[in-house]
């Protein structure tokens, strides 16, 4: 069945009011389109948990820096609607830029500290843009649950913090990263990679896996773990590391010693494409 497609918040809200009146629980999958298997997993989880599944498609200008890929970000609405239909999405919300940020927009959400860690220094203003648009989407759709991929782990932490700090009445559901057979995390930005870059891309995940296996083998000192991961990354000459860190999964601060479950997160460039990935690691005994 084709989903209902709405282009304005007014029309969407009118429809959702009737959905809510019939007692249905609404799940929201916020996306920027260019849908792939990772998004399909988010939709499937929402489909399992909720009565009505809404998917938003909006390439949010606020979360792109001046030299980032806003204009060339893939826009594939027809394919996105087809993937949505195949996975049982009921409602697609695909607003124009004017709809979301048309009037003079002066209000922003900042999740301090968390927004400054990991990717923060490399993408100034990015998480402020994400938190602001996500709060708008939550207010427009008023879902009971919203689904976010663990691939964007820092984004997930920031959204959870925003929900807790601002007493938003919904549940954030994390969904595990979907990977290609060679380990590369599925991402809309993978479409930018040349064949050579695509060949090198799984190295990011291999470096994270190396770090994880050292932790599972009992290594607790971040320095040798990160050194081993760096050695893997350096073997791939076309890949340029931006960062790799072992952090506390809640506050995203680098740990001094691995004494509990941690998150290992990394970002790297292949040509003009920036990739991120992360894994969980727990100390073995
Ligand atoms: O993860 C994304 O696709 C975006 O950051 C989101 C959550 C849709 C906000 O624009």
| Mean pLDDT score, 21-37 | 98
Check pocket membership of 158 for ligand 1, CB cut-off 6 A: no
Least confident of 96-100, 116-120, 171-175: 96-100
CB 115 within 8 A of CB 128: yes
Give 88-105 pLDDT, tens digit per residue: 999 999 999 999 998 789
Distance 30 CA to ligand 1 centre (A): 6
Share of the chain above pLDDT 70, in %: 100
Count the neighbouring beta carbons within 10 Å of the beta carbon of residue 86.
11
Using 50, 70 and 90 to split pLDDT, how confident is the model at 241? very high
Task: Tell me which of 15, 36, 39, 206 is the catalytic residue.
Answer: 39
Check pocket membership of 185 for ligand 1, CB cut-off 6 A: no
126 in catalytic set: no
**pLDDT at position 102:** 84
**pLDDT at position 153:** 98
Residue 275 predicted with pLDDT over 90: yes
Using 50, 70 and 90 to split pLDDT, how confident is the model at 187? very high
**pLDDT at position 284:** 81
φ, ψ for residue 164 (rounded to 5)?
-70, -45
Residue 115: C-alpha distances to residues 96, 119, 142, 208, 255 (Å):
27, 8, 24, 22, 17
Check pocket membership of 132 for ligand 1, CB cut-off 6 A: no
Using 50, 70 and 90 to split pLDDT, how confident is the model at 179? very high
| Mean pLDDT score, 159-176 | 98
CB 208 within 8 A of CB 281: no
CB 9 within 8 A of CB 58: no
φ, ψ for residue 9 (rounded to 5)?
-65, -35
Q: Which residues contact 147 (CB under 8 A, 6 or more apart)?
A: 27, 28, 29, 42, 43, 45, 46, 173, 175
Residue 149 burial (CB < 10 Å; 0-12/13-18/19+)? buried
Report the mean per-residue pLDDT for the chain: 97
Q: What is the CA radius of gyration of the chain?
A: 19
| DSSP classification of residue 19 | H
Q: Show the tokens assigned to 202.
A: 């799984």
Check pocket membership of 134 for ligand 1, CB cut-off 6 A: yes
Check pocket membership of 133 for ligand 1, CB cut-off 6 A: yes
**pLDDT at position 136:** 98
* Nearest Cα residue to 28 out of 167, 111, 131, 135: 135
| Mean pLDDT score, 242-251 | 98
* pTM for this entry: 0.98
User: Cα 196 vs. chain centroid, distance in angstroms?
Assistant: 25
| Mean pLDDT score, 118-130 | 98
Between the two ends of the chain, the Cα-to-Cα distance in Å is: 51
**pLDDT at position 81:** 98
| Mean pLDDT score, 11-32 | 98
Distance 23 CA to ligand 1 centre (A): 28
Q: Which of 100, 133, 147, 149 to mutate to test the pocket of ligand 1 (most atoms within 8 A of CB)?
A: 133
Give 150-161 pLDDT, tens digit per residue: 999 999 999 999
Distance 27 CA to ligand 1 centre (A): 15
Element of type H or E holding 3: none
């Amino acid at each position: 069945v084709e989903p209902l497609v709405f282009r304005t918040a007014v029309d969407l809200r009118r429809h959702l009011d009737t959905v809510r009146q019939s007692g249905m629980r609404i799940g929201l999958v916020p996306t920027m389109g260019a849908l792939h298997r990772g998004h399909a997993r988010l939709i499937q989880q929402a489909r399992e948990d909720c009565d009505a599944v809404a998917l938003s498609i909006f390439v949010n200008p606020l979360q792109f820096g001046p030299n980032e890929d806003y204009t060339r970000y893939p826009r594939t609405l027809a394919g996105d609607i087809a993937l949505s239909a195949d996975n049982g999405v009921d409602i697609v919300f695909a607003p124009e830029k004017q709809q979301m940020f048309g009037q003079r927009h002066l209000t922003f959400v900042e999740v301090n500290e968390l927004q400054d860690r990991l990717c923060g220094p490399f993408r100034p203003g990015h998480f402020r843009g994400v938190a602001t648009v996500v709060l708008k989407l939550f207010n427009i759709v008023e879902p009971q649950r919203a689904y976010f991929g663990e691939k964007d782990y820092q984004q997930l932490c920031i959204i959870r913090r925003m929900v807790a700090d601002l007493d938003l009445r919904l549940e954030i559901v994390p969904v595990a990263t979907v990977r290609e057979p060679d380990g590369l995390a599925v991402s809309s930005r993978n479409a930018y990679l040349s064949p050579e870059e695509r060949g090198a891309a799984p190295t990011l995940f291999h470096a994270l896996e190396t770090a994880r296996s050292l932790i599972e083998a009992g290594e607790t000192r971040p320095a040798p773990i990160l050194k081993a991961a760096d050695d893997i990354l350096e073997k791939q000459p076309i890949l340029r590391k931006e960062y790799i860190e072992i952090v506390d999964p809640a506050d995203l601060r680098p740990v001094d010693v691995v004494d509990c479950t941690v998150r290992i997160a990394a970002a790297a460039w292949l040509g003009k494409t920036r990739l991120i990935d992360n894994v969980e690691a727990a100390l073995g005994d």
